[in-house]
Amino acid sequence: MKTNPKSKPESTSPQPLLVQWWQQWAENIKILVLALGLAFFIRTFIAEPRYIPSESMLPTLEIGDRLIVEKLSYYSHLPQRGDIVVFEPPPQLQSQGYLVDQAFIKRVIGLPGDTVEVKNGRVSIDRQVLTEAYIAAPPNYLMSPIVVPPEELFVMGDNRNNSNDSHIWGFLPKANVIGHACFRFWPLERLGGMR
């Protein structure tokens, strides 16, 4: 039997398999690093999911609701009255033992320069009573008129009588706002935007 002098014998060395294996793993690692980097970027600058752990925003939000908190809109404009915002605890809450990563969620009621008052079960801004169809019940407490300082917000839970909010601990620095809670994705029967 004649052999072709130009043909090379088949390699029995494991080296090509090992090289292929490492190349495949290197490619998988690159994809994983890219995916993690993209997820970090989206969560830090664009949007992130959040879970509702308390009843402070009833009836708008219930325990167990899962939301998307978008962050882009507040790069171009300030929070508006009525927005539901997620925020880091301000210094006065951190001094009570809340951790900086224990995010709160409340509704923006007062903007800088507004005079906020709670009287006769109603919230007023600059002596104008707010119409608030979203609250669980009228507030059963009084709060003397206070003026919201520059660069701060006055926030309240929709469950007015069971909410650790600005009527207890004071003003929220705008810098502590993480983003705007804009969309509920769980439970599916209440999927959609929020007001």
- Please pick, among 71, 106, 163, 166, the residue that the annotation labels catalytic: 106
Which pLDDT tens digit goes with each residue over 124-162? 999 999 999 999 999 999 999 999 999 999 999 999 999
pLDDT band at residue 184 using 50, 70 and 90 as cut-offs: very high
pLDDT band at residue 45 using 50, 70 and 90 as cut-offs: low
Q: So what's the pLDDT on residue 46?
A: 74
Q: Parse the chain into domains and list their residue ranges.
A: 15-45, 49-193
Q: Is 2 a catalytic residue?
A: no
- Please pick, among 2, 54, 56, 71, the residue that the annotation labels catalytic: 56
Q: Is 73 a catalytic residue?
A: no
Q: So what's the pLDDT on residue 188?
A: 92
- 49-193 carries CATH number 2.10.109.10: yes
Which pLDDT tens digit goes with each residue over 74-104? 988 889 999 999 999 999 999 999 998 899 9
List Cβ neighbours of 184 (8 Å cut-off, separation of 6 or more): 61, 65, 66, 67, 68, 190, 191, 192, 193, 194
| Radius of gyration for the chain, computed over Cα atoms and rounded to the nearest angstrom | 27
Kindly report the pTM of this predicted structure.
0.80
CA distance 120 to 153: 23
